[in-house]
Amino acid sequence: MKRTPSPSPLVLSSSEQTVNYSETNHGHAVVAIKHQHKKTLPAVNFIKVAAKKVTGTFRVFFTKKRNDNSVPEGGDGEVRKPSYSTETRSTRSRSSDSYSSTSSVGGQVMAINFTIGEIYKATENLSPANKIGEGGFGTVYKGKLRDGSIVAVKRARKTKSDRSIFLEFKNEILTLSKIEHLNLVRLLGYVEDRNERLMVMEYVGNGNLREHLDGKRGNGLEVAELLDIAIDVAHALTYLHTYTDNPIIHRDIKASNILVTEKLRAKVSDFGFARLAADPSVTHISTQVKGTVGYLDPEYLRTYQLTEKSDVYSFGVLLIEMMTGRYPIEQKKQVKERVTIRWAMQKLKAGDAIFVMDPRLRRSPASTTAVEKVLKLAHRCLAPSRQSRPAMKNCAEVLWGIRKDVRERALSSSAAAAASTSNHSANYPARNAQETRHTSFGIENDENYKFNSA
Euclidean distance between CA atoms 141 and 149, whole angstroms: 14
Q: Is 193 a catalytic residue?
A: no
Q: Which helix (H) or strand (E) holds 38?
A: none
- Interatomic CA distance for residues 302 and 305, integer angstroms: 8
DSSP class of residue 184? B
Q: Is 144 annotated as a binding residue?
A: no
CA atoms within 13 A on the CB side of 393: 9
Dihedral, 47, 53, 57, 58 alpha carbons, nearest 10: 70
CB atoms within 10 A of CB 405: 15
According to DSSP, the residues that pair with 309 across neighbouring strands are: none
What DSSP letter does each residue of 314-370 carry, written as one string?
Answer: HHHHHHHHHHH---SB-TTS-GGGSBHHHHHHHHHHTT-GGGGS-TTSPP-HHHHHH
Distance CA 60, CA 37 (A): 17
**Residue 275: strand pairing partners:** 249
Q: Three-state DSSP class for 86?
A: coil
The CA distance from 145 to 415, in Å, is 48
Beta-strand pair 9-10/79-80: parallel
Query: Are 25 and 61 contacting, i.e. CB atoms less than 8 angstroms apart?
Result: yes
Radius of gyration over alpha carbons of the chain, in Å?
A: 27
CA distance 316 to 322: 10
One of 228, 252, 297, 311 is an active-site residue; which one?
252
Give the residue numbers marked as catalytic. 252
Binding residues for ATP: 158
Binding residues: 158
